[in-house]
């Protein structure tokens, strides 16, 4: 025990001597320059270390043992993806070249009918939640056919050429904003699908956070250089509001409400924290249902 104590005293003494030497050497330097140099040196060190780690891993991947393991995992993933994509394709015949002569209308329709038969899910009776959001009625299909025939060659990127398309988009956006009681100065945009809309929303939240001085915002998407922070849910998939509130700090730029919770509570929590909320389809349906109920009450 006394040996360990002596060794500790020796180490402390050495550290104290080194500290005195460094202080004497730096005594004549402006403290502000020391602060700037320390910060700059730290940032430079972090950048250099990250580059060295990336460089080391890039070369480590080429080692025979490591490369063989990576190739094995990639081959397994490739096979799984291939089997999943093509499991319903019975003939495995692909049209990979533009035909020398155009196909007849009947030939194109027959090919479309054949491809339609690949699907095995009961989409017309509400058995594909999260993929189809309509009852697939014949009246709706007829309406879509007529609308598509009028606007099949329109291009929303040219509102001066197709002003009607621009107006329909603006009206649709305003309808959705009104469902969420958005302020009059709010705006939005239409995307080609749900994934693009999520990425655009994340990008907007990230840009807003950067404007507020947050260098690496907390959200959920590595695609946008952000971090994810999880909040646990109970057996009924209800989020714990107390834990969620605790998880939200000044670096959080957005919260994902893809769980069961009170919309009013979530909105209030977001207002207090001054962050954006991503509302999934279920909240849209809830608001639409409330709006429909109001209309029914008014009609009665």
Secondary structure element (H or E) that encloses residue 176, with its range: helix 163-179
pLDDT of residue 155: 93
Q: 256 has which bridge partners?
A: 278
Instruction: Give backbone dihedrals phi and psi of 98, rounded to 5 degrees, phi first.
Output: -65, 125
What CATH class does 191-289 carry?
Answer: alpha beta
pLDDT of residue 166: 93
Say whether pTM exceeds 0.85: no
How far, CA to CA in Å, does 90 sit from each of 30, 38, 97, 111?
A: 77, 66, 20, 14
Q: 228 has which bridge partners?
A: 219
DSSP state of 103: P
* Residues 42, 94: Cα–Cα separation, whole Å: 56
Segment 173-199, tens digit of pLDDT: 999 889 888 888 888 888 888 888 888
SS3 at position 208: helix
Cα-only R_g, the chain: 30
Task: Count the neighbouring beta carbons within 10 Å of the beta carbon of residue 7.
Answer: 10
Strands (E), the chain: 218-219, 227-228, 254-256, 276-278
Low-confidence residues of the chain: pLDDT under 50: 296-300
pLDDT of residue 21: 83
pLDDT of residue 285: 61
pLDDT of residue 88: 85
Spans of all domains in the chain: 191-289
pLDDT of residue 296: 46
């Amino acid at each position: 025990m006394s040996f360990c104590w002596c060794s500790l005293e020796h180490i402390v003494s050495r550290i104290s001597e080194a500290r005195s030497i460094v202080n004497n050497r730096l005594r004549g330097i402006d403290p502000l320059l020391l602060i700037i140099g320390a910060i700059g040196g730290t940032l430079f060190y972090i950048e250099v270390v990250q580059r060295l780690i990336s460089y080391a891993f890039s070369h480590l991947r080429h080692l025979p043992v490591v490369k063989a393991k990576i190739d094995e995992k990639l081959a397994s993933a490739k096979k799984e993806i291939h089997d999943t994509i093509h499991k319903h394709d019975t003939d495995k015949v692909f049209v990979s070249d533009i035909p020398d002569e155009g196909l007849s209308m009947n030939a194109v329709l027959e090919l479309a009918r054949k491809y339609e038969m690949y699907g095995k899910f009961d989409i017309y009776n509400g058995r594909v939640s999260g993929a189809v959001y309509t009852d697939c009625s014949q009246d709706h299909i007829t309406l879509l056919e007529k609308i598509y025939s009028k606007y099949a060659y329109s291009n929303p990127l040219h509102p001066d050429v197709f002003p009607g398309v621009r107006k329909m988009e603006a009206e649709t956006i305003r309808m959705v904003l009104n469902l969420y009681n958005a302020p009059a100065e709010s705006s939005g945009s239409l995307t080609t699908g749900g994934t693009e809309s999520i990425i655009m929303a994340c990008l907007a939240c990230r840009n807003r956070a950067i404007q507020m001085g947050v260098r690496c915002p907390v959200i959920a998407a590595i695609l946008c250089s952000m971090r994810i922070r999880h909040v646990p849910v109970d057996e009924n998939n209800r989020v714990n509001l107390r834990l969620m509130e605790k998880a939200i700090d000044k670096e959080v730029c957005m919260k994902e409400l893809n769980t069961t919770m009170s919309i009013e509570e979530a909105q209030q929590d977001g207002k207090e924290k001054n962050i954006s909320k991503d509302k999934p389809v279920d909240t849209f349906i809830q608001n639409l249902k409330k709006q429909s109920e109001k209309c029914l009450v008014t009609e009665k």
